[in-house]
Amino acid sequence: MVPEIVVLRWELWGMRGVQLKTVAPAVRPAFADTIIKGDCVAALEQLPAHSIDVVFADPPYNLQLAGGLTRPDQSLVDAVDDDWDQFASFEAYDAFTRAWLLAVRRVLKPDGSLWVIGSYHNIFRVGTMLQDLGFWILNDVVWRKTNPMPNFRGKRFTNAHETMIWASRGPQSRYTFNYEAMKAFNDDVQMRSDWLLPICTGGERLKDAAGQKLHPTQKPEALLARVMLASTKPGDIVLDPFFGSGTTGAVAKRLGRHYVGVEREQVYIDAATARIAAVETAPAAALELLRGKKAEPRVPFGALVERGLIQPNEIMTAISGRHQARVRADGSVESGSHTGSIHRVGALVQGFDACNGWTFWNVHRNGVLTSIDALRQIVRDEMAVAGG
């Protein structure tokens, strides 16, 4: 569920802000948080056009296995040999890929994005089809596995990674990318396109009644969590057209997103349903996203004067104390012979070409020198809550 935004009262350095109204949560579509049984192409016809924010697709890889695979001790490797991964030819696989991508494209919002994961067997063919259909590739992300399966025959390198393609619906799409959140996640360093994560093992791996792994290609929740934290917002709807054991749904619910899954095998639907039911959504406060200044609404300096957060004729001071400027009623400022915006005057008094007036100028509040940028944040926070 989308968390309701509660009534807030801002107080900063003794200054009381306005009391804000409660904003009702967005309406949850009837198809959200459901699993549709059936073939992915036909099932997606049940969804409205442009109704999905993000797609995560883990399609069949078309592994082209020739015979069984054994370890050096001759024990059989539990490889992917299910019927859903079998295709008669590359042409058949390409036709299948084109069909599901077209179905996904119809339901994806204009500013939505798509993630598709694969191995060397299929990801290049999928990438070509994506571009042919008008998707715009943003990144290819390499999932480096900390514990990959060895190459038992010793005739090739160990397949230690899979590739994800992240694409927007088109080159002009204003897709979601939580850059600041990902940077903070990565200890204030830009998140790279190679992600080191273990494969799904231990208690996270779903088992059948015989104690064998339920699904041969179950993805780790950590992988899906990073995808959603990077490219979705709380309340967004994430579609997985190859739902399998329900990892996408479990992570979406935990992170306060909605999911829609498509799956044709009832055994997987039953397992996914039970798995998701056991998940608890994180508290709303824990789901807030870190956002940079560029993502926040624009607030002109004059708005602070209009709101009474700064008074006409008030004196602003540089942090060094060397420069002062007087505020005028129209939002301009003056310092000696210099007049203009907070940025222009800040630059002129220093003899610079440019200046960030928001961080250069300060005002006294209860004996404390306070950046006018802190006062601007009050207005931004009020706008964010009022906008829902």
Helix H or strand E encompassing 162: strand 161-168
Residue 118 and residue 206 in one domain:
yes
Residue 80 and residue 152 in one domain:
yes
Residue 191 and residue 139 in one domain:
yes
Residue 56 and residue 146 in one domain:
yes
Residue 137 and residue 251 in one domain:
yes
Alpha helices of 47-168 — where are they, by DSSP H? 90-107, 123-132
State yes or no: pLDDT of 69 exceeds 50. Answer: no
Residue 240 and residue 363 in one domain:
no
Q: Select the more confidently predicted residue: 75 or 192.
A: 192
**Cα–Cα distance between 170 and 175 in angstroms, integer?**
10
Residue 129 and residue 158 in one domain:
yes
pLDDT value for 262: 97
The whole-angstrom distance between residue 191's C-alpha and the CA centroid of its chain comes to: 13
Contact at 8 Å (CB) between 276 and 90?
no
State yes or no: pLDDT of 20 exceeds 50. Answer: no
Residue 110 and residue 149 in one domain:
yes
Residue 327 and residue 201 in one domain:
no
- Mean of the per-residue pLDDT values for the chain? 86
pTM over 0.75: no
pLDDT value for 42: 94
pLDDT value for 12: 33
Mean pLDDT confidence for 270-294: 89
pLDDT value for 384: 67
Has residue 296 been placed in a domain? no
pLDDT value for 210: 81
Domain range enclosing 353:
301-387
Residue 374 and residue 351 in one domain:
yes
Has residue 282 been placed in a domain? yes
Residue 236 and residue 340 in one domain:
no
Q: What is the CATH number of the domain that holds 226?
A: 3.40.50.150
Domain end position, chosen among 225, 259, 286: 286
The fraction of the chain above a pLDDT of 90, given in percent, is: 69
Has residue 22 been placed in a domain? no
Counted domains in the chain = 2
State yes or no: pLDDT of 229 exceeds 80. Answer: yes
Has residue 121 been placed in a domain? yes
Has residue 326 been placed in a domain? yes
Give the tens place of pLDDT for each residue, 71-106: 445 444 454 455 545 788 899 999 999 999 999 999
Mean pLDDT confidence for 367-373: 94
Domain end position, chosen among 259, 286, 313: 286
Has residue 5 been placed in a domain? no
Residue 278 and residue 336 in one domain:
no
State yes or no: pLDDT of 37 exceeds 70. Answer: yes
Has residue 373 been placed in a domain? yes
Q: Select the more confidently predicted residue: 303 or 71.
A: 303
Instruction: Centre a 10 Å sphere on the Cβ of residue 18 and count the other Cβ atoms it contains.
Output: 12
Has residue 141 been placed in a domain? yes
Contact at 8 Å (CB) between 332 and 312?
no
